[in-house]
Amino acid sequence: MHRFIKPLSQPFLLSVLLLISSVCVADKVGEKLTPLTFDSKPNNFHYAANGKPQLITVYPAQAASMKNASFNHKAQRLGICPLAITDIFNRGWYAPVIIVEREMRVNVEAETHKPECTLSGDYAGVAVQQWGLKVEAVTIIVDGDGIVQFLQYGVLSAEQEREAFALLQVDIASE
């Protein structure tokens, strides 16, 4: 057994693992985003190219993701309904599912939330797995053909927000 384990510790294996991990989170700008559907609470999730730009947000149920909510609220005030996913599967260790679900309900019932906009809980990490995303808050914009035009992890800067809204063909002068 020792002879088998020793070769695995060689730098070659490390190189292969690094290559595989970089492919899994490769930059997807310019690539077609595959359609995705899954059952969820409070809304089932469905994404497919629909001939117009779409905003998709995937936020793990972690404290760091809470800073991204202001972008979703701003988008809704500008008439955009993000396809919003709360990644419950990759939630913080301190976030029991029942509390995450309560927070999602509070967000959906908030005055700033448009009733026609959906929020889906991803209990199995399907979006991260299927789309090869990092387990971080991510904002994605696809064009009408489903080609990723914008993919940004973390909280968007003011410049990134302007770029995102321009890709969504929204005039932010009133904001």
What fold, for 27-167? Glutaredoxin (3.40.30)
Q: Comparing C-alpha atoms, which of 114, 151, 165 is closest to residue 27?
A: 151
pLDDT tens readout for residues 13-33: 334 333 333 333 346 899 999
pLDDT tens readout for residues 53-75: 999 999 998 888 888 888 988 89
81 vs 91: CA distance, rounded Å = 23
55 vs 150: CA distance, rounded Å = 9
